Amino acid sequence: TLSRANAVSVRSEMSYVMIKPDGVQRGLVGDIISRFERKGFQLKGLKLYQTPQAVAEEHYKDLKEKPFYPALVGYICSGPVVCMVWEGKGVVASARKLIGATNPLASEPGTIRGDFAIEVGRNVIHGSDSPENGERETAIWFGSEGLVEWTPTMTPWLKE
Ligand code: GDP
Ligand code: MG
pLDDT at 144: 86
Residue spans of alpha helices (H) in 7-143: 21-25, 29-39, 53-59, 69-76, 91-99, 112-116, 131-142
How far, in Å, from the CA of 133 to the mean position of ligand 2? Answer: 9
The residues whose Cβ lies within 5 A of ligand 2, an ion, are: 129
Statement: the pTM of the whole predicted model exceeds 0.90 = yes
Asked whether the beta carbons of 20 and 52 are under 8 A apart, the reply is no
Q: Which residue owns the Cα nearest ligand 1 atom 9? A: 102
Q: Is 68 in the pocket of ligand 1 (CB under 6 A)?
A: yes
Q: Please name the helix (run of DSSP H) or strand (run of DSSP E) that holds residue 94, with its range, or none.
A: helix 91-99
- Is the ipTM higher than 0.85? The answer is yes
Domain boundaries, the chain: 12-147
Point out the residues that are catalytic.
Answer: 126
- Per-residue pLDDT of 11-23, as tens digits, reads 689 999 999 999 9
Average pLDDT of span 89-118: 98
User: Could you count the other beta carbons within 10 Å of the beta carbon of residue 23?
Assistant: 25
Q: Is 120 in the pocket of ligand 1 (CB under 6 A)?
A: yes
- Per-residue pLDDT of 49-99, as tens digits, reads 999 999 999 999 999 999 999 999 999 999 999 999 999 999 999 999 999
DSSP 109: B
What CATH number is given for 12-147 in this structure?
A: 3.30.70.141
